[in-house]
Amino acid sequence: MKIVSDRMDLTLAELSPASLSKRSISLGIIAFALLTLAAVWFVAPSAPPPVLDLSRSKPSEKGLYTVSIEPEGGQVRQGELQSWLVTLTSKAGTPVENARMTVDGGMPEHHHGLPTSPAMTATLGPGKYRVEGVKFHMGGWWQLRFAISAAAGDDEAVFNIKL
């Protein structure tokens, strides 16, 4: 008799409103998880690579130059207008003179560019140039792209900067 009674309790408990609402919550969690996965899937193409190359010196895309950059003040500061120094050397390691360059960039994850229009303003030599007007107005992953034009040809280099 007691066993039957226990079974009745169990059955009633399974059908109780509390149990049903738990099931709805579970379904809600599953739906939320699926939506989150879908969101991650759509955002994924602009997500940063797992390991960002944060080097400040690298060969240009076509390998014509070695490009090295550094903030002129020695430190990158968020929200401040800063000058950057760009040093160009040839494949053989000699300074590249009489180069011209344009600079752009932005935040790949946010699909926006730079808040300013940096420009090369001085040739400091040997192979060293000043770019003024760089500003990172928010924290996160930024890219700076230098399009270089010199005797060896046109080439470019993209740098990752994390703030």
- What DSSP designation does 14 have? H
- Tokens 């509390």 locate to 18
Question: Given candidates 67, 99, 103, 107, which one binds Cu ion under the rule CB under 5 A?
Answer: 107
Question: Given candidates 62, 91, 100, 110, which one binds Cu ion under the rule CB under 5 A?
Answer: 110
In whole angstroms, the minimum distance from the beta carbon of 116 to Cu ion comes to 14
Contacts (Cβ under 8 Å, ≥6 apart) of 91 = 63, 64, 65, 66
In whole angstroms, the minimum distance from the beta carbon of 135 to Cu ion comes to 12
Q: Distance between CA 78 and CA 2 in Å, rounded?
A: 73
Amino acid at the residue 72: E
> What would the x/- binding string for Cu ion be over residues 130 to 159, using CB under 5 A?
--------x---------------------
Residues within the interface to Cu ion (CB under 5 A): 107, 110, 138
